[in-house]
Amino acid sequence: MTSAHTSTQPLAVDIAIVGGAMAGATLALGLAKLSATLSRPLRIALIEAHVANNNHPGFDARSIAVAHGSVFELTRLGIWPKLQHLGTAIENIHVSDRGHFGMTELNAKPLGLDALGQVVELAQVGKVLFEELAKSSVSLFCPAKVTYIQAQQDGHLLSLDDGTQLHCQLLVAADGANSVVRQHLGQPTEKIDFDQTAIVANITTDQAHQHWAYERFTQTGPLALLPMSSASNSFKSKSFESKSSASKSSATPTQSRFSVVWALPPAQAHELVNGDKTEFLAALQQAFGHRAGRFVDVGQRVSYPLTLSYMPRPVYHRCIFVGNAAQTLHPIAGQGFNLGLRDVVGLLNVLEQAFSAHQLTNSSTQLDVGSSAIVHQYLVDRQADRDTTLSNIEFLVRGFSNQYWPLVAGRNVGLRLLSWLPPLKRPVAQTAMGWR
C-alpha cells in the first residue's frame, strides 16, 4: 500500500495531502477525478500514518451521520455509489427537551426526499475508500508519517519517516484535530471548552428503529441516537462491540442498533463509561425515555472531551487546512464531517475553476496549484459557510445546555412553533441536511 521513492532527489508532486481519513481520502479521490479531465494529469500524493482498519483513529468503529447535502456531493464525486450499501437511512428526526414541553419532528417525505441523511460506520467506509484509492492515480504513502516540513518559495518540502522526500506546490492538511502539519508550520487555533465529555457507544433496543434518529436535550447536555444497520449486515468492529453483543450474531427482527453520543459533565461521564453495563443502560434509559424502546445491551463505551476548536485562518503559505485540521465541532448537530466535506468540495471547485480559466488563456505554462490566488480564493469561498456553522454550533450548545429559565422557555416555544407551523421546518431541515 506504500509508494516507495528511493531517489536522492525529492519526488515532485503538484498536491500533497497529509491525512487519509474521511476528508483526506475523499479529497484525493476527488482530485483524481478532476485530474482525469486535464491535459496534464495532476500528480497527487496522499500520506497516511495508519492502515485503514479498526485501530485507525479516523476510521474507528464510530458512526457518523452523512447529511443529504453531503450524499449529493459524494454522489457527484462518484464516491457515494461505492458506499451506498453501507448506509442506514435517516427518514425522520425527533427533537425534544427532557422534562419540558418542547418537541418537534423533521421528516423526509414532506420535503420530497427519501431520507434526510445516511448513517455509516467509519470502519467500513475506510476500507472501501482505501480500496478505491488503490485503484486510482493517487500515489499512496501508507503507513508513513511526516517528520519535517520546510516551507519554500515554490512549495513545501516534506520528509517522511521512511526516508522519502516530497516536494509539492500545494500542501493540504487533512490530518485531524491534532494536525502535525499545523504544528510544524506553527499555526494557531482558538478553543472553546464546553466542560462536557461525550460518551460514545453502540446500543441495542428491543424494537426496530424504523429509520428514526433522535436528538434529546437533557440537563447535562445533548443526547443523540442514530439508527444503524443490524449487526449481521455490517462489518463487525471489535472496538465498540462488547463480547455479549458479539455473541448475539445479530439483532433480532424486533430489535435494532443505535449509535449513541451522550454529553455529560466530565465526572459523571467518567463514572458511567467505566461503570457496570446495567447501570449505564438504566441511566441512559432514564435520560432518554422509552420512545426508542427499551435499551437491552451496549457495546464498549469510550469518551472524549467536547470542545470547539478552529483556526482563525485555515490557510498558510501554499497550504490549506480542511476538515478537523481546520475546525473540530461539538457533535450536537452532527455537522463535523459534513462541514469538512464542504471544505473538500470547496477546494475542488476552486481548483476546477482555476484550471478552466487557465485553459482559456491558451497559456503554454502549467497552472501553479499552490499560488496565492488559489489559496486566497479558497479562504474567501469558505468563510461565510464556516463562520455561520461555527456560530450556530456554539449557539446550540450554550442554548440547549443551559437551565436558565428564560432560555428554557424560549427554546421550548421555538420547538413547539416548528411543530405547529410546518413551513418553519424547511429552513431548519435544509440547514440540518447541509443545503446552502
What number is the average pLDDT over the span 144-168? 97
22 grid coordinates: 474521511
Amino acid at 200: V
Would you place residue 236 in the very low, low, confident or very high pLDDT band (cuts 50, 70, 90)?
A: very low
The DSSP element (H or E) to which 136 belongs, if any, is none
What number is the average pLDDT over the span 84-89? 96
Model confidence at 399: pLDDT above 90:
no
Q: What is the pLDDT of residue 238?
A: 38
* Residue among 279, 258, 254, 257 nearest 268 (CA): 279
Backbone phi, then psi, for 20, in 5-degree steps?
-115, 30
| CA gap 330, 324 in Å, rounded | 11
Burial of 237 (0-12, 13-18, 19+ CB in 10 A): buried
What number is the average pLDDT over the span 32-46? 96
82 grid coordinates: 461505492
Q: What is the pLDDT of residue 320?
A: 98
Q: What's the pLDDT tens digit per position in 178-215?
A: 999 999 999 999 998 988 999 999 999 999 999 999 98
Angle at 331 between CA 30 and CA 382, to 5 degrees: 45
Q: Where are the alpha helices (DSSP H) in 36-179?
A: 68-76, 80-83, 122-134
Number of helices and strands in the chain (H, E): 12, 20
Ranges 66-70, 421-425, 426-430: which has the least confidence: 421-425
Q: What is the pLDDT of residue 154?
A: 97
Would you place residue 436 in the very low, low, confident or very high pLDDT band (cuts 50, 70, 90)?
A: low
| Residues facing 88 on adjacent strands | 119
| CA gap 99, 85 in Å, rounded | 38
Model confidence at 140: pLDDT above 80:
yes
Mean residue pLDDT of the chain comes to 86
257 grid coordinates: 442498533
What number is the average pLDDT over the span 372-395? 92
Q: What is the pLDDT of residue 364?
A: 74
374 grid coordinates: 488559489
Ranges 72-86, 180-194, 380-394: which has the least confidence: 380-394
The pLDDT > 90 percentage for the chain reads 66
